[in-house]
Chain A
Amino acid sequence: MLRTEQIEINIGPQHPSTHGVFRMVVTLDGEVVTKVEPRVGYLHRGLEKLAESRTYTQFIPYTDRLDYLASIQNNTGYVLTVEKLLGVEVPERAEYLRIIFCELQRIASHLIATGCNSLDVGGWTPFEFCLRDREKILDLFEMTVGGRMTINMTRIGGMPEPPEEFWPALRTFVNEFPRSIDEYNGLITGNEIFQARCKGVGVVSQELAKAISVTGPNLRATGIKWDLRKDAPYGIYDRFDFDVPVGETGDSFDRYYVRIREMEESLKIIKQAMKDIPEGPNFAKVPKVVKLPAGEVYHRVENPRGELSFYLVSDGGMKPYRLRIRGGTFVNIQVLSHIVPGWKFADLIAILASLDIVLPECDR
């Protein structure tokens, strides 16, 4: 009788397949994973502590550094929280601009998720295709505010006005992008190797998703139809006509495919917003020094990586008394230790890629 022994190995924090600075302690029995323990915190910068010594306006650029692939949405989430307590009415045009840029950002973020997912199961080419298309979106951002990744765009009470040449460029992108989605479907979705690696792997059940409070595309992949943009709309999302794509089984493939379909829905929203956007001012009148009344406010927004929410406690001063940031990744990452045991080591990498994590949002 052969004696077998479990071994414990360490992956990360610096490892290309952990998508940033993430560490896992994995127990293996041969090639089968028996236990995974996620270790986070390597990117902790103390943003919640820093917020207590910054004014409300000064903190906006810090929110860029939460989920760096969705910086406009982080800005918008934070700004909406402040505006909710301040009671500012944002002009129509700014609301529409926010929708357009948030949805562009969602597509850019899902492109990275799609590309990395394919990359981690061995397909290099689709990753390049995804980056090629994301580049066009980043160019649109650069045209408007000069930045590409952490661009600090949303302001309290408004949104910067894009230049003249932005609109034709956006139109070109919107017209060309459906063809790119067809390309991904041909390259990744229909790929036999990709399907073999992802179908039925790493299933998140609805019960588990509820127990962990998983949010975002990872939740919708399990079949639960819950999208804040539709079910608890903020901003002007209730004016747009779009679907909420859901998966069937909650496996890696569903998590991937929900994102592809979400990009199509985002495109729909952008098209409607481009058509309906009114002329007019893009800034509300906001005092130069923002002072919030004493009180508490909680606001959540739908980010590409789940619900991002801010809990702001104000004591009436110029700085927050306490700012709590709840990121999607920090909560979603907990499913890893529930779904991975029983799968082979190589599947662990594929499952992690399909969860689409971004560590700065997790560690704050």
Chain B
Amino acid sequence: MENDILQKQMEELALKLNGEYEQSLDIPVLKIKGARISEALLAAKNFNQTPCEILHDVTAVDYPDRNEIEVVYHLSSFTGPYMIRIKATIDRDNPVIDSATKIWAGADFPERECFDLVGVQFSGHPNLKRILLWDDFEGHPLRKDYVVPSIEERKILRAVKPGE
């Protein structure tokens, strides 16, 4: 019952935002262009009867052969067992997308991690810095073209900055 309502609303949203709707195992998936992500998240948060008011997770997957990055949002709820997935496609060379921190304060850390490991730029994020890796780390390890340096060439000690 809940799932039917959710599916219908997802289909309507897909139509409205010019996206695609599909069902993946037990989760309805909405695929849209990165520019419309804020609209999609807000609409999903305020769904009738099945509001997806919890931002469960934000992550990103790199697809170099399509020259795209998919930013993947999983939304859930504390009222029912349903979940949805929203995938926003952005250009791999210019990976910019709106931050969800204005909608959910908890988007802060997951978005910083996406920036750190995949290199997605979240515009409007209040503190977009590396979170897991150190500040002068070069590259984004979860990009598929990232080459893991061999142990010989790896810089284990950080260079001392002048004034330290």
Contact = CB atoms under 8 A, between A and B. Distances in A.
A289 interface: no
Contact of B57 (A226, A232, A311, A333): A311
A232 B2 CA distance: 13
B164 to A, nearest CB: 15
Interface footprint category on B: 35 or more
A24 B131 CA distance: 13
Interface string B87-124: 00000000000000000111011100100010000000
B25 A326 contact: no
A322 B61 contact: yes
A41 interface: yes
Given A41-B132, A300-B56, A232 B142 contact: no
A232 B108 CA distance: 26
Interface string B139-163: 0011000001000000000000000
Interface footprint category on A: 35 or more
* Chain B interface, DSSP helix/strand/loop, else mixed: mixed
A298 B148 CA distance: 27
A183 interface: no
A210 interface: yes
Contacts of B15: none
B85 A46 contact: no
A84 interface: yes
Interface in B24-54: 24-25, 27, 53-54
Interface in A304-356: 307, 309, 311, 313, 321-322, 324, 326, 330-331, 333-334, 338
A40 B113 CA distance: 11
Contacts of A231: 80-81
Nearest to B106: A212
A85 B25 contact: yes
B131 to A, nearest CB: 6
A40 B132 CA distance: 6
Contacts of B131: 40-41
A298 B83 contact: yes
A213 B106 contact: yes
8 contacts: A41-B132, A49-B141, A85-B25, A210-B53, A210-B78, A224-B78, A295-B24, A311-B57
Question: Which 3 pairs, one residue from A and one from B, show the smallest C-beta to C-beta distance?
Answer: A232-B81, A212-B106, A41-B132
Interface of B: 24-25, 27, 53-57, 59, 61-62, 72, 74, 76, 78, 80-81, 83, 85, 104-106, 108-110, 113, 117, 130-134, 141-142, 148
